[in-house]
């Protein structure tokens, strides 16, 4: 028998403020046509004065708990992927713990930028497989609007805010690829590429800083590394492209999503795409896509999913799971 981390609930939160591409035309030398054709993005949500990373994460977590039919104290741990925690510390995860009214267990943040949710899933899976937790809330939440340089047209049109969450629960599996739950994970990073995507602030500068990206350089790495990590995770899980019901990719750019699916040998009608509505929400993008994909009726119990992401670090990885 193998202990599997099985999805029991899913939920998301998007701030009410929706900004179309056309809004940027007033302040930047850009067009709706450029943003759509180069990235696939049509609109994104931005945090209002009432939204922070922890409040959005809490809203997504509540939705996931309701979906699972559980209370906060039924959960043993919170693993929150974010690069935009409310404060340097304490962790956004402990803020969520308090906001949920959770009086037991433990909570911590994972910081792997756009790959954060993949890293958080992998950590949560390890907590469950090793018996340290039976139920884990895994959240991705970001307010990238707080680290945008609104004069940099190469970045500020691409990102958005939001949060998504899963409740993972320990369940016995047979140890085969037919089991529900996380079947395999693959994590990678290469710190030599730090200058391609970083924030130019932090405790060393006394400012929170702004996101800086050499977009076309990140693009060069993306398709190859994403397809490679997905294949590694699929090999570990003992599945092939024909077995995959849905790729649920990090939603940064439709051209990266299409290129990766093609390299993986999976047609686009088996890819969950939300980038047009959310933009790039970094660590929130995969749980948002999982929740929206489930709500659309795309993702169903028993489906085989491959999720993959790459971002600052560079850090990248993939998770294969049966929903």
CB of residue 41 to ligand UT7, shortest distance in Å: 8
Question: 78-104 burial by CB neighbour count: b if 16+ within 10 A, else e?
Answer: bbbbbbbbbeeebbbbbbbbebbebee
Whats the size of the chain, residue-wise? 323
Check binding of 189 to ligand UT7 (CB under 6 A).
no
Tokens matching residue 66: 């309701």
Of the residues 21, 250, 253, 278, only one is catalytic, namely: 250
Pick from 149, 219, 236, 263 the residue near ligand UT7 by CB under 6 A: 219
Q: CA-CA distance, 123 to 144, in Å (whole number)?
A: 23
Pick from 114, 121, 168, 319 the residue near ligand UT7 by CB under 6 A: 114
Helices 285-295 and 116-129 sit at what angle, rounded to 10 degrees? 80
Tokens matching residue 196: 């391609």
The contact mask relative to ligand UT7 for 239-278 (x = CB under 6 A, - = no) is -------------xx--x----------------------
Q: Is 156 a catalytic residue?
A: no
Q: Is 114 a catalytic residue?
A: yes
Pick from 147, 187, 218, 292 the residue near ligand UT7 by CB under 6 A: 218
Tokens matching residue 155: 């970045």
Check binding of 10 to ligand UT7 (CB under 6 A).
no
Check binding of 215 to ligand UT7 (CB under 6 A).
yes
Pick from 17, 19, 25, 30 the residue near ligand UT7 by CB under 6 A: 30
The residues, ordered by sequence, that sit 6+ positions from 23 with a Cβ below 8 Å of its Cβ are none
Q: Which of residues 73-112 bind ligand UT7 (CB under 6 A)?
A: none
Check binding of 216 to ligand UT7 (CB under 6 A).
yes
| In contact, 262 and 270? CB cutoff 8 Å | no
Q: Give the binding range for ligand UT7 (CB under 6 A) out of 10-18, 33-41, 226-234, 299-307.
A: 33-41
Which ranges of the chain would DSSP assign to H, the alpha helix?
32-39, 53-68, 92-100, 116-129, 215-237, 254-264, 275-278, 285-295
Pick from 72, 157, 237, 244 the residue near ligand UT7 by CB under 6 A: 157
CB of residue 72 to ligand UT7, shortest distance in Å: 31
Q: Which of residues 297-316 bind ligand UT7 (CB under 6 A)?
A: 310-311
Strand 2-13 to 161-173 pairing: antiparallel
Choose between 16 and 37: whose C-beta lies nearer to ligand UT7.
37
Under DSSP, the state recorded for 145 is G
For residue 317, the cross-strand partners are 187, 309
Tokens matching residue 128: 């469950």
Under DSSP, the state recorded for 196 is G
User: Could you list the residues that contact ligand UT7 (CB under 6 A)?
Assistant: 30, 34-35, 38-39, 114, 153-154, 157-158, 215-216, 218-219, 222, 252-253, 256, 280, 310-311
Active site residues: 114, 250, 280
């Amino acid at each position: 028998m193998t202990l599997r981390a099985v999805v029991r609930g899913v939920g998301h939160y998007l701030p009410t403020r929706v900004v179309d591409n056309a809004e940027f035309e007033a302040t930047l030398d850009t067009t709706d046509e450029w943003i759509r054709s180069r990235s696939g993005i049509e609109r994104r949500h931005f945090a209002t004065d009432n939204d922070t990373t922890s409040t959005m994460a809490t809203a997504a977590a509540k939705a996931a708990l309701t979906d699972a039919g559980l209370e906060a104290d039924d959960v043993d741990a919170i693993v929150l992927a974010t690069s935009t925690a409310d404060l340097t510390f304490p962790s956004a995860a402990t803020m969520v713990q308090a906001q949920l009214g959770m009086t037991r267990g433990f909570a911590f943040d994972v910081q792997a930028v756009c790959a954060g949710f993949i890293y958080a899933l992998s950590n949560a899976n390890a907590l469950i497989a090793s018996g340290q937790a039976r139920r884990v809330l895994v959240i991705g939440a970001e307010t990238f609007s707080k680290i945008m340089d609104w004069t940099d047209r190469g970045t500020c049109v691409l990102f958005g805010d939001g949060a998504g969450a899963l409740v993972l629960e320990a369940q016995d599996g047979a140890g085969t690829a037919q089991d529900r739950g996380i079947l395999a994970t693959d994590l990678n990073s290469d710190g030599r590429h730090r200058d391609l995507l970083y924030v130019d602030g932090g405790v060393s500068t006394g400012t929170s800083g702004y996101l800086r990206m050499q977009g076309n350089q990140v693009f060069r790495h993306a398709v190859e590394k994403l397809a490679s990590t997905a294949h590694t995770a699929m090999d570990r899980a003992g599945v092939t492209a024909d077995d995959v019901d849905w790729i649920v990719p990090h939603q940064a750019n439709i051209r990266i999503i299409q290129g990766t699916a093609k390299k993986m040998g999976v047609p686009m009608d088996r890819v969950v795409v939300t980038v047009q509505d959310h933009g790039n929400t970094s660590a929130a993008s995969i749980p948002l896509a999982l929740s929206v994909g489930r709500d659309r009726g795309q993702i169903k119990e028993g489906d085989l999913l491959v999720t993959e992401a790459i971002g600052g670090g560079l850090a990248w990885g993939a998770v294969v799971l049966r929903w």
